[in-house]
Structure 1
C-alpha cells in the first residue's frame, strides 16, 4: 500500500480528531482503547488515524476488534481484513458469529436492526473487559450524529443523539467517538486515498433502513441549503430549554430518566 498518509487531508483529519479528543477528554494517559472495526471505510479510517502519532493526546494502547456478522457474502472480506490488521502490526481480535442471520431470522424479522446492534455491542463490551480496555472507540462521524438526532425525533419522539463521550457501566468504561467533528465525505475520501481493504456490507436491511431515508432527505435539503447539516450540528449546542414546551406537569416522570436505544442500522461503523 502506498504511504500517502501525510497529505493535507491527513493533517486536517488529525487536527479535528485531536480537538474532539481534547474537548471531551476522551482519552487519558495509559488508556486501553478498543476500536470497533466493522471493515467499512469509517472504522478503518478511525483505526489508521488513531494509530498515527498524536501531538496533544497522551500515549494509549489500541486494540482492533472485528465482529463478523456471519453473512456468507462477507467470508472473503474477513480474510482480507485479517491479513490487513496482522500485517499492520495491530493488537487485534477477529471473531466469527451468527449475529446477522439470527437477527434476520423469521422469529425476529420485524426488528432485525435492534437485535443485531444489541448483540454486537454486548460482544464488544465483553471483549473490552477481557482485553482490559476502558475506552471503546466507534467510528461515528458528524453525519451519523446529525442523522441520529432526526431519527430519534421522527421515530422515537425524543430529542437525543449519540454522545461524543458516553460513560457506561457506572463510568468504568466509556464509548468514545473521535470522528464527531468530521464530515462523512472527508472520512470516505481519506479511506480512498489510503486504499483500505473495504468490506462491503452484506446486510439485507441496510439499503432500506431509516438511516438511509434520513440521509437521502438531508441530501435533498442540502441542494437548497448547503449549510443544512452544519446548522443542525451547531443547533445541538444552542438548545434553549426555556423555549421548548416539554411534558405537561401531569405527565412528567416522578423519578429517573427515560432513555431509548436507537433502533436502526449503522450503529457500529
Structure 2
C-alpha cells in the first residue's frame, strides 16, 4: 500500500465520522508496532492538507520490559517533526512479577490506557488517535459475540467524559494486510513486542478465526465489516457517507 492510498482510507474515516475539528491537538498513541507507526505516517500526511487544521504529537507508554528500545521511534518523530513523549511505567513488573497474572491482557490495557490518557492531558491534547484497523474491529466484534453475548465493537469516535478526551480511530477502513505492505514498502522502524504472551491471546484466536472464515467463505471478512457499519451499534456516531 502506498502512502496516497493510506491517506485516502484515513481521510474517508475522518470525514465520515467527524473525527477532526479545527484547532484540535491530537496525540497518536505509538506502541512501536506496525499499526501505530502506520497511523503516525497517516496523521502526519493528513495534517498537510486537511481543511480542519490541527496539531499533532506522538506518545508511547513504556511498559517497562527489558531490551525495549524506542530510539528508532524517536528518530522517526524527529524526521517527521512530530513532538514525541515516552511515559515510563512499571506495568510489566506489576503484572508478571508482583501479581503474576496468568491472563494479564485486560488489566494491562486498563493500566496502559490510564497512564496514556493522563499523559495526553498533560500534553494539552484534546484527542488521541488509536491505530485500530479494519481487522481489529471485526475481531473485537467476534470476541464480543463469543465471550460477551452481544454485537459490539470499537467505536470510530468515543468521548471520555471523565477525562474530557476524545478517542478516534482513523485507520478503521484499512486492512491489516495493507498495513503489512506499508510497513515493508516504507521500512517502518518497528519495535518488537517484549510481552511474554504476545501471540497467545484471545485476540490472536479471533484473528485466526477471521482468517479461516474468509478462506472458507471468500468475502466473509468484508461482509462482517459491512454488518458492523450498518449494525446501529450503541455508542457509535452517525455516519456521514459520501460527503466529498
The TM-score normalised by the length of structure 2 is 0.89
The aligned counterpart of 1:103 is 95
C-alpha distance in structure 2 between counterparts of 1:140 and 1:21, whole Å:
14
The aligned counterpart of 2:83 is 91
The aligned counterpart of 2:2 is 9
C-alpha distance in structure 1 between counterparts of 2:97 and 2:208, whole Å:
28
**Shift of the alpha carbon at 1:102?**
1.5
C-alpha distance in structure 2 between counterparts of 1:18 and 1:156, whole Å:
32
The aligned counterpart of 2:61 is 67
CA contact (8 A) 1:22 1:57 kept: no
**Shift of the alpha carbon at 1:72?**
0.8
Of residues 116, 122, 126, the one that matches 1:124 is 116
Of residues 145, 167, 170, the one that matches 1:178 is 170
Partner of 1:136: helix, strand, or coil? strand
Greater mean deviation of Cα atoms: 231-240 or 143-152? 231-240
Q: After superposition, what is the alpha-carbon deviation per residue over 1:168-223, rounded to whole angstroms, capped at 9, x for unaligned? A: 11683210000011111111211211111101111112211001011111111121
- Matched pairs, number: 233
Q: After superposition, what is the alpha-carbon deviation per residue over 1:42-97, rounded to whole angstroms, capped at 9, x for unaligned? A: 101111111114544411001100111111131xx322222332343221101222
**Shift of the alpha carbon at 1:124?**
1.2
The change in CA–CA distance for 1:46 and 1:151 in structure 2 (over 3 A counts) is: same
Of residues 135, 143, 150, the one that matches 1:151 is 143
CA contact (8 A) 1:82 1:94 kept: no
Of residues 21, 33, 46, the one that matches 1:40 is 33
The TM-score normalised by the length of structure 1 is 0.81
Unmatched segments (≥5 aa) in structure 2: 235-244
For the pair shown, which has the larger CA radius of gyration, 1 or 2? 1
C-alpha distance in structure 2 between counterparts of 1:199 and 1:56, whole Å:
29
The aligned counterpart of 2:17 is 24
Unmatched segments (≥5 aa) in structure 1: 1-7, 242-256, 258-269
C-alpha distance in structure 1 between counterparts of 2:177 and 2:27, whole Å:
24
Greater mean deviation of Cα atoms: 111-120 or 83-92? 83-92
Q: CA RMSD in A?
A: 2.0
